[in-house]
Amino acid sequence: MNDTLIKDINHSYIFNTYSENGCFYYENLHYDPKDDKVKKDIYYHDFNDNSIRLFAKGFSENFQLVLDNNTITFQPRTILKSLSLLTGEYEWEVDLSEYGEIRSVLAAVQDNLWVLANDYKNNRHSLLRLDANSGRLMQVLGEDLKLSDAHVKYIKEKQTLLSFKSSISTIPSPSTLVEIDAKTGDVLRNVTVESMLEPNLKVGLWQYQDNQLFFTANTTMMTTTHIGVLDYNTLALLWYIEVPGRKGLLKDIQVSTGKIYVLDQVGTLHIFEKESD
């Protein structure tokens, strides 16, 4: 790493941490050889009075989630911190290395902060529920649940956390769905969806919308062949089809009202539209 890689981009970028009240941006992106880190100066733009103030100077960490007057960050990958937006000072931090690396901060629901951690060495994935005010660890889920390392998502409409995946190593490949109440930590569903697909198809990516689960499915780790839709409440398979003309892995699936967008690895966007009844 050296300063020549970033010297030409010394202007503002918008963080993904924003609300109707304001947003963060940074300037003075630079490499600090003393710490061997890329640093920047953080500013907060208040939309209410259009004021701008320096929030933090020489900041090297990443904003992950804004909660009221605090933003949650993690760096290194095992330390979770709460940074006050009012003072610029850290209010608490917690070491979660016992559970591996922090993969993502999923959601803040009431006083619950949900974090996904992966212990790759022991092939263990854990959902951690922390007190958002103090950082105290209150609950660990995952020991008895077949959680997906990359496909746990927060469903805001339901205020639940959802994991949906297929077994990688077995044929047939039953799909497991785990649903957790984000307010209480109660496991609402931990079910196997038997015979949902042809025996050799495995669930890949998925999205939720309007009480339906839209997913991709593949025959191998390198080839995705189908997309399908499940009823969220009953888990009944509504339909699935083979993607025509697809080449290899499907990289993304997005959903809007009445349409499904699927991107393959060669850059072709496939658009599926619901037929009129």
- Domain residue spans of the chain: 1-60, 62-143, 161-277
State the pLDDT confidence band at 179, using cuts at 50, 70 and 90.
Answer: very high
pLDDT at 173: 60
Contacting residues for 269 by C-beta, under 8 A, at least 6 apart? 261, 262, 263
Superfamily of domain 161-277 in CATH is YVTN repeat-like/Quinoprotein amine dehydrogenase (2.130.10.10)
**The pLDDT of residue 167:** 61
Report pTM. 0.76
Architecture of the CATH domain 62-143: Beta Barrel (2.40)
Tens digit of each residue's pLDDT (9 = 90 or more) over 228-243: 888 999 988 888 888 7
Amino acid letter, 32? D
Q: In this structure, are residues 25 and 56 in contact, taking their beta carbons and an 8 Å threshold? A: no
Closest alpha carbon to 159 in 206, 214, 110, 205: 110
pLDDT value of residue 162: 93
Rounded Cα gap, residues 163 and 127, in angstroms:
11
Here the tokens at position 26 are 């940074």
Is residue 65 within 8 Å of 106, Cβ to Cβ? no
* pLDDT beyond 80 at 186: yes
Comparing CA positions, the residue from 205, 196, 202 lying closest to residue 231 is 196
State how far the alpha carbon of 217 is from the alpha carbons of 77, 171, 233, 245, in Å.
Answer: 31, 14, 20, 15
Cα 125 → chain centroid: 14
* Alpha-carbon distances, residue 174 vs 133, 170, 273 (angstroms): 39, 8, 28
d(CA 83, CA 66): 9
- Report the C-alpha gap between 112 and 135 in whole angstroms: 10
Across 10-24, 90-104, 138-152, the highest mean pLDDT is recorded for: 90-104
Percent of the chain with pLDDT strictly greater than 90? 22
DSSP lists the bridge partners of residue 74 as: 80
